[in-house]
Amino acid sequence: MGLSTEALLSLYYDMVLVRRFEETVDTYAKKGLIPGFLHLSIGQEACQVGAIRALKQADYKFPDHRSHGICLLAGSPRERVMAEIFGKKTGLCGGKGGSMHIADVMVGNMGNNAIQGSIMATGLGTAVAAQIKGTEQVTAIFIGDGTVGRGEFHESLNLAATWKLPIVYILVNNHYAISTHTERAHPVKDLVEMAGGYHIPGVIIDGNDVEAVYDAVTAAVARARQGEGPTLLELKTYRWQGHFSGDPAAYRPQEEVKTWKDRCPLKRCRERLLNTHQVAEAELQALERKAEEEITAMLAFTLASPDPAPADAVQHVYVGREVAGR
């Protein structure tokens, strides 16, 4: 349908921001300053940026395992997303979450989760709650292609379709579950074919086209909000890096990686802005600098932030019940 220049510029800014964010945390992980695993979404920015823009803050978002961008753009103080990944006290979860467990309930980020498929079941619950309470909130569940193999995929789609729950399933198909290509894990070429078994719409989207993602998620959200039930969207994309920061990803042919890098979602959006929307090169460069500056400020905040107190580890085990420390 074609977004306004202003809207597309804003999406482009967000994609640049996510790209720089991922590059930055990757750098700091390799310096040994970020504990644990880091699953980077470089190459998949259009999926995260387009989808999150189509959702309201009041909607429930369940980000997937490769979801820094979603957490970054959900409406939270962004520096607190980075601080969380570094395990700082100022992080959204006080350093208890890290890269794989980031929530900000105030903006409807219900938390990413390190068990693939788990949120497919949990997301049913916020949708049921919206239905019981009669609110217009939609639940967006982000999953990867690997999660299609989990039993929760079936249980979730089956129940959501039967109960007509207000859910949008955003399946980000980057073609690999760690090292295993989708073709070696699932019997169908297009995972979205699975939707047919549940009599719900399934839509294939070019996941490297931010406008296409935005449009598709917007339509699915509208359908869910009107009480017409869930939609399964399959966003075809690719992660440029390995499964985690530091994974050399030797299991992928180099020409495949190159083909997908040529389809860079940022480059495509940039070219559209230059050619179709007649935006000046200087304006784009200014935007890119602004994103750099925002990242620099986040990083300064993060590096200046204190670690949590060790004994914070005994807080929040139970509501209203103490657990002994050392």
> CA angle 118-197-216, nearest 5°?
70
Instruction: Pick out residues in 117-156 that bind other proteins (CB under 8 A).
Output: 118, 120-130, 132-133, 139, 151-152, 155-156
Half-sphere exposure of 301 (CA within 13 A, CB side): 18
Q: Which of 253, 255, 257 is nearest to 241 (CA)?
A: 257
In the bound complex, what is the minimum distance in angstroms from residue 106's beta carbon to other proteins? 8
- Between vectors from CA 70 to CA 220 and to CA 288, what angle results, nearest 5°? 110
Applying the rule CB under 8 A, the residues between 77 and 96 that interact with other proteins are: 92-94, 96
103 part of the interface to other proteins, by CB under 8 A = yes
Stretch that binds other proteins, among 32-40, 98-106, 187-195, 263-271 (CB under 8 A): 98-106
Task: Give the residue from 172, 190, 210 showing the smallest Cα distance to 46.
Answer: 210
Q: Which is nearer to other proteins, 129 or 280 (CB)?
A: 129
3-state SS assignment for residue 303: helix
Q: 105 or 304, CB closer to other proteins? A: 105
Determine, following the binding rule CB under 8 A, whether residue 101 of this chain makes contact with other proteins.
Answer: yes
Residue 172: its H or E element: strand 167-173
7 is a contact residue toward other proteins (CB under 8 A) = no
Residues 235 to 274 in contact with other proteins, rule: CB under 8 A: none
User: CA-CA distances (angstroms) from residue 140 to 15, 76, 88, 175, 272?
Assistant: 20, 17, 28, 21, 28
Question: Looking at beta carbons only, is 1 or 317 nearer to other proteins?
Answer: 317
Residues at the site binding other proteins, with contacts judged by CB under 8 A: 60, 92-94, 96-97, 101, 103-105, 110-111, 113, 115, 118, 120-130, 132-133, 139, 151-152, 155-156, 158-159, 162, 315-321, 323
